[in-house]
Amino acid sequence: MKFLSWLITIPLVVFCVVFAVNNRQEVTIDLWPSGYVASAPLYLVTLGASLVGFLIGALLFWLASLHPRWERRHLARQVDRLKHELLEEKVKSSNVPVLRSDM
């Protein structure tokens, strides 16, 4: 698993560095209704927007996984409770004297 992580991370970092080196020209960002205008290097704008998109996607994925994780925890607790009840019933049934009929 560690190898796979490095196999993905290293090319991604190399791509980002090469992209940043080749896209250093300034661009103007105009957020129209607010009148906010800023200048920044193209690589910073592009990689920053990609990072923001990644973080929003990760947040949405995490929020979507909350319910299944809660349900799995709830079901695990229920299974533990039922196992405990079953064990108690087995102990009770082993202590019950057996009535024999000698006919």
The residue-averaged pLDDT of 3-28 equals: 94
6 & 48 share domain: yes
pTM: 0.66
What CA–CA distance (Å, rounded) separates 67 from 16? 35
* pLDDT attached to residue 103: 58
Residues 42-99 have pLDDT tens digits of 999 999 999 999 999 999 999 999 999 999 999 999 999 999 999 988 888 877 666 6
15 & 37 share domain: yes
* pLDDT attached to residue 76: 97
Nearest alpha-carbon partner for 25 in 51, 46, 49, 11: 46
The residue-averaged pLDDT of 18-43 equals: 92
* pLDDT attached to residue 18: 96
47 & 26 share domain: yes
pLDDT at 5 over 70: yes
15 & 35 share domain: yes
What CA–CA distance (Å, rounded) separates 85 from 78? 10
Which residue has 């300034």 as its token pair? 26
- Do 30 and 37 meet the contact criterion of CB atoms below 8 Å apart? yes
42 & 68 share domain: no
* pLDDT attached to residue 91: 83
* pLDDT attached to residue 66: 96
Beta strands per DSSP E along the chain: 26-31, 36-41
3 & 47 share domain: yes
* pLDDT attached to residue 68: 95
